Amino acid sequence: MKTVGVFDSGVGGLSVLRALLAELPGTRFVYAADSAHAPYGERTAQDVSARTHRITAQLREQHGIDALVVACNTATAHAIDDLRKAYPDLPIVGVEPALKPAAALSRSGGIGVLATRGTLESARFAQLRDRLIAAAPRPLRFISQPCDGLAAAIERHELPTIEALSTRYVKELLQGPQGDHPIDTLVLGCTHYPFAAELLGRLCGPDVTLVDTGAPVARRTRDVLGLPLLPGAPAVPPLLLSSGNPSALAQAAQRWLGLGVEARSL
């Protein structure tokens, strides 16, 4: 049995864990939420890199992980290249906003991106966006909207704040520079945001398709490990770890994944 570490700044990476559990039911997962230092999207690149390296070392030394999924867009943007250099023998899968799948789905070429400020201001995001625009057979427009505070509100399950911020940011995105409705596809560029997908979908309307990264990351992890599809294999309960309040992580896993498992301190 393979052991895969899954790491996020908080509970948002549970959206990726949900896809991983479905794709790799016979795999043991150790989920680490750095909730005491969340959200990463509003921290400096140096802080994010330091926390990512520290938790990777902990997962490797204490849990013997065979691979790592960095289930955080901001941590992937700021730390994954150095992390791969530091651990050349450890398969590492990152997440990044699903711009490529969105470009394939979009009918008009107008694509909205909701993400943290840290992700949107990273060189990695700019390179991905510019590469897709240059290679596209038709014009693509990526309209980015930083969502300050939204990941933190989802982390704390503050429903009124989630609704208020989601309403504000979607309104700003859909207005566009000329006050038009410029998108038909919306990228959820933070792993926290799929847990507000129903609300975001209602705010955007039925003509906008939402895209996140959970399923592609899960498929990529299976490919990296060279594991076959095992439909019907018994699920292995994940180990949940938090640098913050373990009971809050356990409650989030129960709420969003239906997992009745306890969490421990990281």
**How many angstroms separate the Cα of 211 from the Cα of each of 63, 101, 179, 214?**
32, 8, 23, 9
Q: In what order do the strands lie in the sheet with 209-211?
A: 141-146, 110-115, 185-188, 209-211
DSSP conformation class of 79: H
When pLDDT is averaged across residues 43-47 and rounded to a whole number, the result is: 91
Residue from 258, 255, 217, 238 nearest 33 by CA? 238
What local confidence, expressed as pLDDT, does residue 179 receive?
A: 53
What local confidence, expressed as pLDDT, does residue 8 receive?
A: 95
Residue from 199, 194, 197 nearest 216 by CA? 194
Give the pLDDT band of residue 178 (cuts 50, 70, 90).
Answer: low
**How many angstroms separate the Cα of 133 from the Cα of each of 110, 140, 236, 265?**
11, 6, 41, 43
Of the ranges 3-7, 224-228, 233-237, the best mean pLDDT one: 3-7
Distance spanning both ends of the chain, measured CA to CA: 23
Q: What is the CATH T-level fold of the domain 99-211, as seen in this structure?
A: Rossmann fold (3.40.50)
Fold agreement between 3-95+214-265 and 99-211: yes
Instruction: Supply the residues annotated as catalytic.
Output: 72, 190
- pLDDT 10s digits, 114-169: 999 989 999 999 999 999 999 998 899 999 999 999 999 999 999 999 999 999 99
Helix (H) or strand (E) holding 54: helix 45-63
Nearby residues of 75 by Cβ (< 8 Å), 6 or more positions away: 7, 8, 9, 40, 48, 51, 52, 94
Helix, strand and coil in the chain, % to nearest 5: 50, 15, 35
Percent of the chain whose pLDDT exceeds 70 = 98
Residue from 108, 110, 97, 99 nearest 175 by CA? 110
What local confidence, expressed as pLDDT, does residue 181 receive?
A: 58
When pLDDT is averaged across residues 45-64 and rounded to a whole number, the result is: 96
For the chain, what are the domain ranges?
Answer: 3-95+214-265, 99-211
Residue 16: pLDDT over 60:
yes
- What's the CA gap between 72 and 86, in Å, rounded? 19
Residue 41: pLDDT over 70:
yes
- pLDDT 10s digits, 93-126: 999 899 999 999 999 999 999 999 989 999 999 9
What local confidence, expressed as pLDDT, does residue 40 receive?
A: 87
Give me the chain's average pLDDT, please: 93
CB 109 within 8 A of CB 39: no
What local confidence, expressed as pLDDT, does residue 43 receive?
A: 87
Token digits of residue 71: 């289930």
Residue 256: pLDDT over 60:
yes
Token digits of residue 49: 């890199």
At residue 107, what are phi and psi to the nearest 5 degrees?
-90, -35
What region does 61 belong to: left with phi over 0, alpha with psi -120 to 50, or beta?
A: alpha
What local confidence, expressed as pLDDT, does residue 175 receive?
A: 84
Q: CATH number of 3-95+214-265: 3.40.50.1860, 3.40.449.10, 3.40.190.10, 3.40.1160.10?
A: 3.40.50.1860
